[in-house]
Chain A
Amino acid sequence: MVHKVSLIAAPTGLSPGGYVKKAFADRNAPQTPVAELEVVKGLTGWRIRLEWDCSDPVTSLADDVDRFVDAAAILAPGAPDAPWMSMGAPGKPVEGALWRADREALFGVRAEGLGTVERSDAPAGWSAMADRQAGKWRVSFHAPSWSALDAQQQLAVAVWQGAKGDRGGLKSVSSGWIAVGS
């Protein structure tokens, strides 16, 4: 199933601390307004393809200090009522994978609220293939097993365009959970 997903700017007003919400108060429009999402559950597990327009890719920090790399995340609720926009809540985690353009291996991510994201190695067997053609990033995730998604059948996505200053809470996200069934 292929979704055309409209993305919104993650609301900076929710960002913990005093700086981001004020310094980026006017960052209302998504840097990546739309993404294409395809989710397939097959014999080998979940295959999730995410595509978005990116005219100015950043695939490496190149030892610079003012660059941010392109990235994308797929997350599933770890509990039936885990909220998406706040990256979960205490006792109601969200979990999934983070692809970054400057590294091969996926990060596993888990959070129970804004500012609580923990990165780790992705679960064994998880991977992502990324390529960029015709001004688009296409990232194909493969998760041999993902019990949260199995259980909740919902997914959310986030996209960071480094060239536009995206990092952390400065990201374009699906406006809510996307049902992956039928």
Chain B
Amino acid sequence: MTQSNSPAGWQLGRRRFLELAGLATAATTTGCLPFVHLKEESPAGPLADGAIAGRTEKLGSWQDLYRQRWTWDRVAKGTHGWLNCRSACNFDLYVKDGVVVREEQSATYEASEPGVPDFNPRGCQKGACYTEVMYGPSRLSVPLKRVGERGAGQWEQISWDQALAEIGEKLVKIAEKDGADSIIHDLGPHFDNGPTTAARVRFFGMMGATLSDDWAEIGDLNHGATLTFGFPHVGGGSDEWFLSDYLVVWMMNPAVTQIPDAHFLFEAKYDGAELVVVDPQYSATAVHADQWLPIRPGADTALALATAKHIWDSGRMDLDYVREQTDLPVLVRLDTGRFLNESDLEEGGRASVVFVWDADDERPVPAPGSPDNTRQPRLDDGKVEPPIEGRFSITLADGSETFVVPVGSLLREHLEAWSFEAAAEVTGLAVEQVREFAEGFARAERPMVLSSWGSNRYLHSDQMNRAKILCLSLKGAVGRKGSGYHSTGWIETGSLGIGDKTGLAGRLALFSQIGMGTLFDMAIDRVRGRISEQRMMWELGDILGEDIACMTNAASMNLAIQGIADDLDREQDGLYPRPLSAYDREAREKDWMPRLPKDKARAWVTGGNNVLRRSNLPQRSLEHLWPELELIVDVNPKFTFTGMHADYLLPAAGYYEKRGIKYAVAYIPYLHYCDAAVDPIGESKDEWWIFWKLAQEVQRVALERGTPELDGCGKFPVDLSNFGDRFSFYGKFGPEETDKVTQEMLNNAATTDRMTVAELEKTGTQKFQSAGGPSGQPQLFNDEWKGEGVLYACTHFTEEKWPWPTRTGRQQFYIDHPWFLEVGEALPTHIESPKAGGDLPFQLISCHARWSIHSVWRDDPMMLRLQRGEPALYLNPDDAQREGIDDGDWAELENRIGKVYMRVKYSTMVRPGVAYYFHAWEPHQFPDHESYKFVTPGLMNPLHFAGGEGQLSWRFGVWEPGTQVQDTRVAIRPGRPAGQEVSS
């Protein structure tokens, strides 16, 4: 016997394993605070002493040590349901002795259609080790209350009863004193489409608290797509990539940020497609490209305009498509720059109706599909084949003469300047490379552009995306299978809402809040075929959103309460005719943008949004906003930087500890369900339970205090005296009944209403039944897709011929809003990236990370060990050496806002003059707890405050101002935080 040399660690396994598992369910408060439930080195598995399910017995061999590691008691189906990751991946969760020991992809997807690769096995390194985060050193597991100063790290453990009673009482008092809208809640980079988010949204929505929409504020909103299409989220399944013959990855890095889908690009290449990557960075996607265009940061519009010109000049434009689907034939008045509308031509005419030129009759006629063109509601109605170029004289209603031209003429003239040479000059690319790219695009049958959320982070990103779409639209590529624009579509799933009734009854009850006249007009329009069902439901949704939802856009809120207005006025001085604050003021006066809270923010209840991590200039928030807040609560499975500065930390159950529905991005047209593989660890609870209980506390306090009926952000009355009863739909759903809640949500959407929780517990995933219901925003505009075949988008317009939801009813390249006209941005226009932070040598560019989804894995030891353990600033080695900075050295990043420290990492993928960071490091991973965000002003494009016209109307996640970080400039020098060696 060789016991002395036996692998002691392994034999220790079972006992230690059980000990640690015991810790997981019985956190105690002895010694330091019970944040940590399993040690960092959690065991992979025990050397079991009993029979193990599913195990092949081969006793008597040391190899059994290995065999026994691959054993389990139970497998649950799961995914990373609460995570703001655009991928959704079906995982098997392996449970042994009450602990989820590891996870592995299920890989049960099927190919969408013959001749297209399947989706297996979706996942990434982060999803494959969520168990590390779940049992990791930053896990919260007991309710905590701050006992020292905010941010001092002094906490005491309290009971749930105490936590909920105190928070409930504070919320009621704040609502009474300062209005419910002074209570802010956010979705942020942590939400699902299941009971978790439903609970939070229902609780605060019913209360009249302000939902801060940070879609644009975090730089994710594709303003260019909204300006052009009327909506930002475009595109179908990622297997559609495989069908393109000219795949342009243009401001996206799928190999890093869309890991489960990236393979379709390289498989398309094997299938004969040309793969092109336009990126200043020689990215992990670019390394596999046929063409890599090392473009100067911020110069993408120039490349696109030269490409559009080439498509046009070389006769490869799809004229029929352009006439039917775009605004190129729509007439513009040369005297005003505005679209010619009916009121120009006749007294009492409708301003909404736009015109094209009838060449036969030599007169303007209402454009087919124009808003309010009730006789020709569809884009192919009528026989007009309108010119897209020309110059025509017309007589206005007042008898005066003026000239009108189709948008095409303006565009053609606008493109004249964009020769290959001019584009080369601006982009820093060789003329030959621009030509090769443009010619490939022009020649392609199915060109496709992938443009991710990260493509929206320059001040002038809207122009870049407008211009990229222009290239596609000239080719007739948008809304055609295997081509077009992919900015990430969404599939709608069900919700609970904030009403008193569930299901259809609930939805009908909501409609009762819309004026009868409006409903009647819409119904008539629909019956007469003047509008599509999708359009009708969408407009109803908008009306409902405006009438009953207390929402605001986070960027406006930043300006109002986070104390950054002065910074931005300074940074944007001279860029626009007026200061940013003037645009903001005008938008507010004209009611273009919602403005909540009406006065002050008094409470902030965050759900993992980690506002102090993700905000630009968080020091301003700490300085200006934090002192105003009487209550800060973080409901989160993890300890974050925001949590560090909160008053209460409520431990939410982790992804594998509660039922969830992953939000549904169109890349993978399957619903992903997460089962509760194990009970919540420690005292953590799922959010449905937390908010259910909190709702009872609110009701109790309101009854005790005799709280009067309150105003819900000016839109509806709020009665807190029956708040808990209403939250639970009068007892329909108990605090533990997330299975029933989940089923209700499935029942509430056309995409899922034949699915059952019982079935999903077995499969974890099911293909969606359709591409989206007729309401809500995340429409893919594919009415025909019913779960069969590759999912693609926008056929509602290109095949059904319904108009696009824009000012003109068409894909729109001309924006005639006065603000756009004033600054010369009516057409897609190249504008240089401004130098935010000062005229300094390095452009500081933020990238989504390979190693974390937002901050969730950022401090996880297993992930950090596969990086360098600390935040890294990526520099080109030549730049770094010139500055005297070695690989791994500390450096200081300084601009006129401040100075922070990071370690430098050399990489030849970096363009000289650029410094990259891969985002979502927690500020407490930096010296002085100051991250790059502390020197990033986050410019705001004032044009995005515009409203009142067509697609330029505020809608949640569709049109609103945001912040843009990529224009930030810094000086980078050798430098080190106090007490550190340069190369320590």
A and B touch in the complex (CB under 8 A): yes
Give the Cβ gap from A120 to chain B, nearest Cβ, in Å: 6
* Chain A positions within 8 Å of B1 at CB level: 120
Interface hits, B1-28 → A, CB 8 Å: 1-5
Complex Cα–Cα for A105 and B3 (A) = 13
* Chain A positions within 8 Å of B3 at CB level: 120-121
| 1/0 contact string of A77-107 vs chain B (CB within 8 Å) | 0000000000000000000000000000101
Give the Cβ gap from A146 to chain B, nearest Cβ, in Å: 19
Give the Cβ gap from A100 to chain B, nearest Cβ, in Å: 10
Give the Cβ gap from A88 to chain B, nearest Cβ, in Å: 18
Give the Cβ gap from B941 to chain A, nearest Cβ, in Å: 54
The answer to whether A118 and B2 have CB atoms under 8 Å apart is yes
In the complex formed, the residue of B with least CB distance to A122 is: B4
| 1/0 contact string of A110-122 vs chain B (CB within 8 Å) | 0000000011110
Give the Cβ gap from A108 to chain B, nearest Cβ, in Å: 9
The answer to whether B4 and A105 have CB atoms under 8 Å apart is yes
In the complex formed, the residue of B with least CB distance to A108 is: B4
Complex Cα–Cα for A121 and B5 (A) = 9
In the complex formed, the residue of A with least CB distance to B1 is: A120
- Max chain A CB contacts within 10 Å: which of B1, B3, B4? B4
* Chain B positions within 8 Å of A107 at CB level: 4
Give the Cβ gap from B41 to chain A, nearest Cβ, in Å: 13
In the complex formed, the residue of B with least CB distance to A118 is: B2
Complex Cα–Cα for A119 and B3 (A) = 9
Complex Cα–Cα for A105 and B5 (A) = 12
Give the Cβ gap from A57 to chain B, nearest Cβ, in Å: 22
Give the Cβ gap from B967 to chain A, nearest Cβ, in Å: 48
Complex Cα–Cα for A119 and B1 (A) = 8
Complex Cα–Cα for A157 and B963 (A) = 76
In the complex formed, the residue of B with least CB distance to A105 is: B4
Complex Cα–Cα for A107 and B3 (A) = 10
* Chain B positions within 8 Å of A105 at CB level: 4
* Chain A positions within 8 Å of B2 at CB level: 118-120
In the complex formed, the residue of B with least CB distance to A106 is: B4
Complex Cα–Cα for A121 and B4 (A) = 6
Give the Cβ gap from A172 to chain B, nearest Cβ, in Å: 23
Complex Cα–Cα for A118 and B2 (A) = 8
| 1/0 contact string of A123-146 vs chain B (CB within 8 Å) | 000000000000000000000000
Complex Cα–Cα for A119 and B2 (A) = 6
Complex Cα–Cα for A105 and B4 (A) = 9
* Chain A positions within 8 Å of B5 at CB level: 119
Give the Cβ gap from A116 to chain B, nearest Cβ, in Å: 13
Complex Cα–Cα for A119 and B4 (A) = 8
* Chain B positions within 8 Å of A118 at CB level: 2
| 1/0 contact string of B875-904 vs chain A (CB within 8 Å) | 000000000000000000000000000000
In the complex formed, the residue of B with least CB distance to A107 is: B4
Give the Cβ gap from B324 to chain A, nearest Cβ, in Å: 69
Interface hits, B810-825 → A, CB 8 Å: none
Give the Cβ gap from B470 to chain A, nearest Cβ, in Å: 59
Give the Cβ gap from B9 to chain A, nearest Cβ, in Å: 12
Complex Cα–Cα for A120 and B3 (A) = 7
* Chain B positions within 8 Å of A120 at CB level: 1-4
Interface hits, B799-855 → A, CB 8 Å: none
Give the Cβ gap from A39 to chain B, nearest Cβ, in Å: 25
Give the Cβ gap from B274 to chain A, nearest Cβ, in Å: 47
Complex Cα–Cα for A88 and B499 (A) = 87
* Chain A positions within 8 Å of B4 at CB level: 105, 107, 119-121
Give the Cβ gap from B1 to chain A, nearest Cβ, in Å: 6
Complex Cα–Cα for A162 and B192 (A) = 57
Complex Cα–Cα for A105 and B2 (A) = 14
Give the Cβ gap from B416 to chain A, nearest Cβ, in Å: 67
Give the Cβ gap from A37 to chain B, nearest Cβ, in Å: 25
Give the Cβ gap from A38 to chain B, nearest Cβ, in Å: 27
Complex Cα–Cα for A118 and B4 (A) = 11
In the complex formed, the residue of B with least CB distance to A121 is: B4
Complex Cα–Cα for A120 and B1 (A) = 6
* Chain B positions within 8 Å of A119 at CB level: 2, 4-5
Complex Cα–Cα for A121 and B3 (A) = 8
Complex Cα–Cα for A65 and B3 (A) = 22
Complex Cα–Cα for A118 and B3 (A) = 11
Give the Cβ gap from B7 to chain A, nearest Cβ, in Å: 14
Give the Cβ gap from A50 to chain B, nearest Cβ, in Å: 21
Complex Cα–Cα for A86 and B2 (A) = 22
Complex Cα–Cα for A121 and B1 (A) = 9
Complex Cα–Cα for A103 and B893 (A) = 51
Complex Cα–Cα for A63 and B1 (A) = 26
Give the Cβ gap from B825 to chain A, nearest Cβ, in Å: 61
Complex Cα–Cα for A168 and B1 (A) = 20
In the complex formed, the residue of A with least CB distance to B3 is: A121
Complex Cα–Cα for A68 and B2 (A) = 20
Give the Cβ gap from A9 to chain B, nearest Cβ, in Å: 25
Give the Cβ gap from A182 to chain B, nearest Cβ, in Å: 35
Give the Cβ gap from B336 to chain A, nearest Cβ, in Å: 77
* Chain B positions within 8 Å of A121 at CB level: 3-4
Complex Cα–Cα for A7 and B570 (A) = 82
Complex Cα–Cα for A130 and B328 (A) = 93
Complex Cα–Cα for A123 and B1 (A) = 13
Give the Cβ gap from A167 to chain B, nearest Cβ, in Å: 14
Complex Cα–Cα for A105 and B1 (A) = 16
Complex Cα–Cα for A107 and B1 (A) = 12
Give the Cβ gap from B4 to chain A, nearest Cβ, in Å: 6
Complex Cα–Cα for A169 and B29 (A) = 53
Give the Cβ gap from A126 to chain B, nearest Cβ, in Å: 13
In the complex formed, the residue of A with least CB distance to B5 is: A119
Complex Cα–Cα for A120 and B2 (A) = 5
Complex Cα–Cα for A118 and B5 (A) = 10
Complex Cα–Cα for A136 and B5 (A) = 27
Complex Cα–Cα for A120 and B6 (A) = 10
In the complex formed, the residue of B with least CB distance to A119 is: B5
| 1/0 contact string of B271-286 vs chain A (CB within 8 Å) | 0000000000000000
Give the Cβ gap from A16 to chain B, nearest Cβ, in Å: 19
Give the Cβ gap from A95 to chain B, nearest Cβ, in Å: 15
Give the Cβ gap from A101 to chain B, nearest Cβ, in Å: 15
Complex Cα–Cα for A119 and B5 (A) = 8
Give the Cβ gap from B40 to chain A, nearest Cβ, in Å: 15
Known: A105-B4, A121-B3. 5 other contacts (CB 8 A): A119-B4, A119-B5, A120-B3, A120-B4, A121-B4
The 10 closest A-B CB pairs, nearest first, are A119-B5, A121-B4, A107-B4, A119-B4, A119-B2, A120-B1, A120-B2, A120-B4, A121-B3, A118-B2
Can you show 12 pairs from A to B with CB atoms below 8 A apart? A105-B4, A107-B4, A118-B2, A119-B2, A119-B4, A119-B5, A120-B1, A120-B2, A120-B3, A120-B4, A121-B3, A121-B4
User: Taking beta carbons and an 8 Å cutoff, which residues of B are in contact with A?
Assistant: 1-5
User: Taking beta carbons and an 8 Å cutoff, which residues of A are in contact with B?
Assistant: 105, 107, 118-121
